[in-house]
Chains A and B, each alone.
Chain A
């Protein structure tokens, strides 16, 4: 029972991180119809920036907020400079550009920040909650923070003018421009928000798995799996699927087949689901009348 609880909480924690990362991938997909393979490396790079800021003497939360801001701005610039110009190119050209970005951020991080495992601080207290020895403060904090973050994102898209404009551009860029929305700026904003979500995911997972340039490889894989499982067009489906993937991975690894095969098993299960529901678990069929 204790092992079960332990795995359950670990699964929820990593699931929350996969969820926020999957939402970032979906956000980029919805705005520019690209799968940003570099999203994970961008998040890893952001986490190194956060560590550099902390080592330079900033308090954790100041470094946290500044990192989010820097990631947001840098990603917007990246979208304007590199992604926007290739928007009319062949989709495969975009894939190559994103693989290149992945490799550039990876090498840059190794070069700038020596590629050894680094400890990354958690903003939450050490140890576990009283009476719940398997529920660490970090895990609880991560889940609470990500729930808050996703609620904020939801509110932003639901109830703000800017959020509405971003949804409009994601759906129909031409019509958006005809009502006067600068579609390019909204796409850049989407990239900025995705990088900010990625940075949070990076800073939350680093205390668990240590910081190194390969840190986000697993998160990227699980994030993609969650995004596809939930429906690449559906951020809330992706978030829910992130949680499912995290739980599945933890529980299957502990109970069914052991840690060696858990990744394969979790991914095989996802492929199985996608065979039955190709648009994802939570996809809503588009309703259109003509």
Chain B
């Protein structure tokens, strides 16, 4: 971590359990994210990756502890957690498809009052994603899949988050677009003061971006370590490629 010799802990998750109604999905998840760190959360379909993100952003009932810079945020509603600096780009992107690109970006900054800062951040987003500037007055639903994903990420960054939760950013995108998107994410990680937790199907892309990776299986974490180590872990291979 260049320029950050002492890594402070941003998010600490202990004994996190969550599920839908009576069905419990996550069992005693423990993980931590350092300030400025990028974490990849890997696992097969149905392992509980999306559920983990939804639990962290307050969209699910949880038990256990979720500490954001020391303060327990478990059980807070999503709008409060967003206010504490956690931005979640949900599965399926969650853009407001009937609203314009511009309106989507303005909504991303809903909790902020610093006009000058919002304007500056908007311009920076156009630096990361130049296509968005060309499409400002277009309805989000008419953008291509890649553009919608860029919009979703830009909208999340407009919150000026400390932690960005990304759910399958590469989902449904052509390989060329996946490369473009991850190039942008690499740039964002260098230029923005934001930690990321990335859930991905594309393990290779996610591991190239991440410092640390966790592997989920049946709602529990079965392996964790530096991203470079997990790249060759046979359990990761198995989760993605089948037996």
Q: Using a CB–CB distance below 8 Å, which chain A residues touch chain B?
A: 161, 164-165, 167-168, 171-172, 174-183, 286-290
Contact = CB atoms under 8 A, between A and B. Distances in A.
B235 interface: no
Most buried by B among A171, A179, A183, A287: A179
A210 to B, nearest CB: 42
B138 to A, nearest CB: 10
Contact of B107 (A164, A182, A288, A289): A164
A286 B98 contact: yes
Interface residues of B, number: 34
Interface in B89-108: 90, 94-99, 103, 106-108
A177 B110 CA distance: 10
14 contacts: A167-B103, A168-B99, A172-B96, A174-B78, A174-B90, A174-B94, A177-B58, A178-B78, A178-B156, A179-B87, A180-B82, A180-B83, A180-B111, A287-B139
Contact of A289 (B79, B82, B143, B155): B143
Contacts of A286: 97-98, 141
A165 B144 contact: no
A177 B77 contact: yes
A161 B109 CA distance: 11
Report whether over half of chain A's contact residues are helix, strand or loop; otherwise say mixed.
helix
B96 A168 contact: yes
Nearest to B139: A287
Nearest to A177: B78
Contacts of B95: 175
Contacts of A177: 58-59, 77-79, 82
Contacts of B94: 172, 174-175, 178
Contact of B57 (A165, A168, A171, A178): A178
Most buried by B among A168, A183, A287: A168
| 10 interchain residue pairs of minimum CB distance | A180-B82, A175-B94, A180-B111, A177-B78, A288-B141, A177-B79, A178-B88, A182-B79, A180-B79, A179-B110
Given A165-B110, A177-B79, A290 B172 contact: yes
B137 interface: no
Most buried by A among B83, B87, B94, B95: B94
Given A178-B90, A181-B107, A171 B83 contact: no
B142 A289 contact: yes
A290 B145 contact: yes
Interface string B136-173: 00010111110010000001100100000000000010
